[in-house]
Structure 1
Amino acid sequence: MRNHSVEAPRTILVIGGGVIGLSSALALQRLGLEVTLVEASTDVRAASWGNAGHIATEQAEPIASPRIVRSAARRLFLRGGALALPPRQIAHWLPFALRLTRAATPTRFERGRAALSGLLAQAMPAWRRYVDAIAAPDLLRENGHVVVWETPETAAAGLAAWRAADIGTTRFVPLERHELDALRHRIATPLAGGIRFTGTGQIADPGRLAHATRAAFLAAGGTERIATVTAIDARSATLADGARLTADRVVLAAGTGSAALLRPHGLKVPIIAERGYHLQSPPEPDWPADLPPIVFEDRSMIVTRFESGLRAASFVEFAGHAAPPDPRKWARLHRHAAALGLPMADAEGWMGARPTLPDYLPAIGQAAGILCAFGHNHLGLTLAPITAEAIAALALGERPPVDLTRLAPDRFSRGL
């Protein structure tokens, strides 16, 4: 429903060219608005494009949960898990961890789950509309994903955990014998069991997604400006060279850099760089192109076959955005890949920072007159199109397609 008290904008500035910013720019442009996208770099090695390519509609429970808090100690990197809390980065992660613990109370968790479930229920339909809009429907593969375990004990525990979890609109069934046998033929270590999800999906290739989206945006008359933004307000952005860009509305989708741009407006945004690592093989690996993403839960690792190669991704490392990468993470991924017999001997390493808020919910909405879309943690790719549709509706003063009440960008400043 249109709010007639809000004057319809004609020009929009979108700050941030990751998957959230790009998709928002495209959605706004499709409404007939004149959109300028401002991004510091067009490097497709940024966090938006370094993920597992998994459209994770099964992740209906925020990571800030009582269960995750209770299990944090056994998930630590030093104990073989995926959670890394570097001692030298304690000034970054300790305040965040305390806020996460407060956000994981049963009441707040249930509220967060309701908000996240609403978004995820619309994620796959939004993705279908998105790939049609960029004339690349083959980028979306709705072939689900697989979770496997390597011991009878972890298989029993893992299956019980998934049966107790809220998986939103998705479903899973145990792998049939022939499916498990086919995987055993590919995997060097024994597999004790597994499940196959439906209702999830993957992107055929994150790099091609980035190029196809940018090409569609530019072909339709969008403007791209490669520059660093140092300050914003409701109608302008100041660049590092002193230039000032103006528009009727400003959309902030700058990932981990969003907090610094909102701070002068009195908004406290406790965002952290949650760093992930991956290895990627050269193109055409000896791995079936039609296999869906496979989660090796015992190793906290997901393996995805892209057009550009085979990718193995893992780790949740809390640190400052500029902290150097930890080579031990890549070394462990190499050991896992070798143990599983994956064709990744010549794989290259990557590290990127996911923008994460303590309650593990994104910030989508308006604050200080600025339209905000950041903090999507592990779900940036999954939620990009539905976030873009919500931002487009807000820009026109219309009701967004999902309830954004719990996702307000100023919720931490208000003590929520």
Structure 2
Amino acid sequence: MGHVGIIGGGVVGLSAGLALLKAGHRVTLLDNDPGAAAPSWGNAGHIAVEQVAPLASMEQVRSVPGRLFAAGGPLALPPREIATWLPFTTRLLGASGAKRFAAGRTALSRLLAEALPAWRAQVEEIGAPDLLREGGHLVTWLDERAAREGTRDLAAADTGTASAAPASAADLARLSALGAAHPAGAMRFTGTAQIADLDELRGALHAAFAARGGTRIEGEGRLVREGRRISIAGVECDQVVVCAGVRSVALLAPVGHKVPIIAERGYHVRADAQHWPEDLPPVVYEERAMIVTRYRTCVQAASFVEFARADAPADPRKWARLERHIAELGLPITGPFQRWMGARPTLPDYLPAIGRSDRADNLYYAFGHQHLGLTLAAVTGRLVTEMLDGRRTSLPLAPFALSRFA
């Protein structure tokens, strides 16, 4: 077995590193996020196996005017960032046609079907099975018409290995008790899951990686090309895997890969757990496009899809709107709030990039998981290991190859 260098210490990179160590490889991981600011550690904690339909679809395109931030929705296309998002949205339109959408749904469905079994195996292997909660999640509406239409649409939707049914009377009672606004309807998903605490997950992954002999270095990492082979500056390794989220664009550019990724930025606010029930699964307030998650010691409300540069200044209006949603719904969440913004790495067809480079013989990649980075981390780690071992992968990876953007 060889020595593998991984650039990117988020949940995908760590999952790949653990799977490679288990297979007998030596692994060095470069992590430039000592403060845990990446989306891996600031997301909604939701194992979203129900999201089998890529967001690159004509249905989503048609819904854009009503979802814009200026109209009260979650989608932000900041005018100052038009040079960033206009080329991306043009490609997204091209990926939203019926044929490409159907192919993308098939590919994503196969990947998501393996996501929860892979997470079950991973939390057992790192000795933290209690970090995975398989209690499903709830989707609720406050307006009666929205509830009728929403429940009808969800009942007819393809949700992969998950299933949705009208919430029970007990669920509705619990949702009613949370705030001043009583739900007009709700659906309970089964077959989805939650990470109990992202900070604990990060610590458990780091501990398991070190215990299995992995080397973790704090640093950016830089690829060095020598003919058809790639190395990492300052790290001697036989094979290289790029799992660096939005940074993967700059890393791969010198190798000849033009990656049309965008920073799809999300926002959240956190507060002490207070009166939010510990055993309540994540709750989606559909009309507010907001998901509320209870972690071990805090409760978090998250929302927004903002297309911009990863390092553009955050928009405080989005945190203010989240806090206003909480107040207007009468939810038992009070400040002081901890505010966070993170850049999800998103490709125009809303499929990840997982594969082997056609520009270098020993270069592999796994990034661009958009909203599904946490969900797909464990299964992606398995697929990366199968590739590096030269085995036939357990799922077809052609739909996720970077060559689709050539």
Q: Same fold (TM over 0.5)?
A: yes
> Partner residue of 1:318?
307
Counterparts of 1:167 and 1:58, CA distance in 2? 4
Aligned match for 1:281, one of 232, 257, 271: 271
> Partner residue of 2:200?
208
Q: Is the 8 A contact 2:223 2:230 kept in 1?
A: no
Counterparts of 1:179 and 1:277, CA distance in 2? 27
> Partner residue of 2:231?
236
Length, aligned pairs only: 399
1:17 aligns with 2:12: no
Deviates more, 1:158-167 or 1:317-326: 158-167
Q: TM-score, normalised by structure 2?
A: 0.96
Q: Is the 8 A contact 2:4 2:26 kept in 1?
A: yes
Q: CA deviation at 1:346?
A: 1.7
Q: Is the 8 A contact 1:310 1:344 kept in 2?
A: no
1:71-107 CA-to-partner distances (Å, cap 9, x unmatched) read 0111000000000000000000000001001000000
Q: Is the 8 A contact 1:293 1:302 kept in 2?
A: yes
Aligned match for 2:389, one of 369, 393, 396: 396
CA root-mean-square deviation? 1.1
1:150 aligns with 2:142: yes
1:114 aligns with 2:106: yes
Q: Is the 8 A contact 1:13 1:37 kept in 2?
A: yes
Counterparts of 2:222 and 2:393, CA distance in 1? 29
Counterparts of 1:47 and 1:277, CA distance in 2? 10
Over the matched positions of the two proteins, sequence identity in percent amounts to: 52
Q: CA deviation at 1:160?
A: 2.2
- List alignment gaps of at least 5 residues for structure 2: none
1:279-358 paired onto structure 2 within 5 Å: 279-282=269-272, 284-342=273-331, 343-358=333-348
Counterparts of 1:344 and 1:412, CA distance in 2? 45
> Partner residue of 1:272?
262
SS of 2:280's equivalent in the other structure is coil
Q: Is the 8 A contact 1:17 1:42 kept in 2?
A: no
> Partner residue of 1:251?
241
Q: CA deviation at 1:232?
A: 4.2
> Partner residue of 1:171?
163
SS of 1:411's equivalent in the other structure is helix
SS of 2:266's equivalent in the other structure is strand
Aligned match for 1:180, one of 147, 163, 172: 172
SS of 1:399's equivalent in the other structure is coil
Counterparts of 2:287 and 2:304, CA distance in 1? 13
Counterparts of 1:269 and 1:235, CA distance in 2? 18
SS of 2:186's equivalent in the other structure is strand
- List alignment gaps of at least 5 residues for structure 1: 1-8, 239-243
Counterparts of 1:360 and 1:165, CA distance in 2? 18
Q: Is the 8 A contact 2:175 2:182 kept in 1?
A: no
Counterparts of 1:11 and 1:182, CA distance in 2? 52
> Partner residue of 2:367?
374
- Distance 1:289-1:249 versus aligned 2 partners, 3 A rule: same
SS of 1:318's equivalent in the other structure is strand
Q: Is the 8 A contact 2:345 2:367 kept in 1?
A: yes
> Partner residue of 1:4?
none
Q: Is the 8 A contact 1:235 1:247 kept in 2?
A: no
Q: Which runs of 4+ in 1 moved over 2 A?
A: 230-235
Amino acid at match of 1:348: Q
Counterparts of 1:305 and 1:401, CA distance in 2? 34
Q: CA deviation at 1:163?
A: 2.5
> Partner residue of 1:6?
none
1:340-367 CA-to-partner distances (Å, cap 9, x unmatched) read 2221322211000000000000000111
Aligned match for 1:33, one of 25, 34, 50: 25
